[in-house]
Each structure stands twice: as structure tokens, then as C-alpha cells.
Amino acid sequence: MLFHILGASSLLLTVATAWNTDVHNQIGFMAETFLTPPTTSVLQHVLEPQYNGSIGRAADWADAYAHTPEGSFSYQWHWIDSADEPPTSCSLCYERDCPEGGCVVSAIANQTEILRGCIADVKRGILTDGSNITCSYALKWLTHFHGDINQPLHASGTAAGGNLFNVTFNNISTELHAVWDGYIIYSDASVPRFSNQSIAPFMSSLVSRIRADDFSQPTAEWLACTDPATSSECAVSWARESNQWTCDYVYNQTYNGTDLAISGYAKGAYPIVELQISKAALRLATWLNRLVAGDHTTGQEMILQTDPNWVQKLGDGEQRI
């Protein structure tokens, strides 16, 4: 094992996005293929008109917004920094790893609760044509964060999510984080970039594989926790799955300074990235379908807070963070 691991950081660098923006778009387009007609209809009223009802086209908004003065508060919502020592020890604990102000786990939980109310407003005819910006933001954040939480280096604090780990990929000097954000999947698909307007052929092939249950892990296992009423528990479980890849593969390969595109590292990562992207798409679609259908447990809503008593059951009249 020749990787040199830098210490964990409580913050990622400003270059971190968790999947490149076009990959986020593609995850959204993939998810759209699994949405039910009622879900598609409801979401058209939640999103602002410029997206034409497409969560795929809206999926990259959160990264741009996080880098504006207005949206800078949401920047740290895109990840959760574990305290790992890969490849020997990888673990994720909400109380320890989610900082004050939130992380991707708490963001999914909170935005789910907001969107639940927005969907109810659409059904009552109160919300139409994306007229409630808070609701549109909630849907755009959820779409984006389902992608983020399935990117292994956004559930790892080691070397600031890989941003401080310099590598070479296809003769380009870059960071390990960027390799997992885009370089690996572009190499796998043999494309320079993906469309941000419609689903790409490579992603369509992943959709076909999802429908055929053609992955190393059965799709039923991906959906073991997809009840929006237990959003905190589900988000933690997804983050832990992603975090485990940092020990199982990301930092568990021999690295001797060679180009990762030709050393075998990228090829070994192809099935992992395909799996994680596919998980993100199917989980997102299932999450939204269940929210719209009301197919979830009621009366036991959970919410996350950044204190030792991070899980609370909400009673009538209590406010969510």
C-alpha cells in the first residue's frame, strides 16, 4: 500500500462539487425514467418554469448556488466529513462528523420535510407553476444531494475528501476528488462530457441495467431504506455505504505515482462509479414517488440536529431546523 494519506479536514476545498455538474444532470435524467406520472405532474408545479418540469435540468443548480454570497450558507451541506484512517479504518458517525450548520445528511432530512409540505400544497391547488421558491429549492437540493451522498469522497474527511491528494489522470495533474467527480465516469463512457439537457446513451444503458437488476448488488438492497418518514436514518445509511468505499477501494490500491487512467485504478473503479450513480438515481426516484404517493410512515417524522441528541420525534407545534 503506497498511498500517502493526509490528515482529515473539517472542510472541503472550494473546488469540491461531488460529481461534476453534468453528471448530476444525468443522475436526474436517469431518475426521471423511474418517476410515476403523478409524481412527474406534481413536480412540474414545484419547479420553477425554466426547468420545464425536469429535475435533470435542475440537478446542477445547488453547486452554483452554494458558490454565491446568497447561497454560501449551503456550501457545507454537500458532504459529511468522516474521521477515517483508510484503508484500515472507515466509519461515519453523525454526531461526530456533521458540523454545526449541517451536512448532506441533515440537508436531506430537512429538505425532505419541506418538500413534503410543498407536495401537499400542490395537491390542494395552493402551489402551481413553481410559485413558491422555497419549495423549488427543496426539490433541487434533494435532487442534487441524492447524487452527493453516493459519491464516496463526499462521505470521507481524509485529505479533505481527496482534494489534498494530488494524482495524475490521463497526463493531467489533478486531485483524487476530481478523479471521482468526473474523470473516471468520462473514461468509462469514453466521452469528454455529458449533456445537461437530456439523458446520455451511457446513462440510458445504466437505466436498462437497473431495470434488469444487472449489478453486483441487487437493486432491492439499494432500496432497503427509502421511507421519507425516516429520512435521517436513510441518509446516514447511504453515507456509510459511500464511506466504506474509501477503505474498500479508493485508498486501498497500490499507487506508485503512475497515471491512474492507465495503471488499472480507473478500470477497477468503473463498476463502483456505475453502481453509485445508479443507486443515486433509483433512490431519488423512489424517494420522490413515495413522497407524492404518501407511501410512507406517518406520525414518526425524524429530523437531525447538530447536537448530541440529534434525532427528535416532532410533535404538533414543534419547529424543524
Tell me which H or E stretch contains 72: none
pLDDT at residue 272 is higher than 60: yes
pLDDT at residue 315 is higher than 90: no
**Residue-wise pLDDT tens digits, 283-308:** 999 999 999 999 765 444 444 443 33
Tell me which H or E stretch contains 313: strand 311-313
Phi and psi torsions of 104, nearest 5° = -65, -30
pTM of the model: 0.88
**Residue-wise pLDDT tens digits, 180-218:** 999 999 999 999 999 999 999 999 999 999 999 999 999
Average pLDDT, the chain: 89
| Percent of the chain whose predicted confidence (pLDDT) is above 90 | 83
* pLDDT number for residue 296: 62
**Residue-wise pLDDT tens digits, 230-265:** 999 999 999 999 999 999 999 998 788 899 999 999
* pLDDT number for residue 295: 72
121 Cβ contact partners less than 8 Å away, ≥ 6 residues apart: 127, 132, 135
Q: What is the mean pLDDT of residues 19-40?
A: 98
Domains with residue ranges and CATH for the chain: 21-313 (1.10.575.10)
Cα 150 to the center of its chain, rounded Å: 5
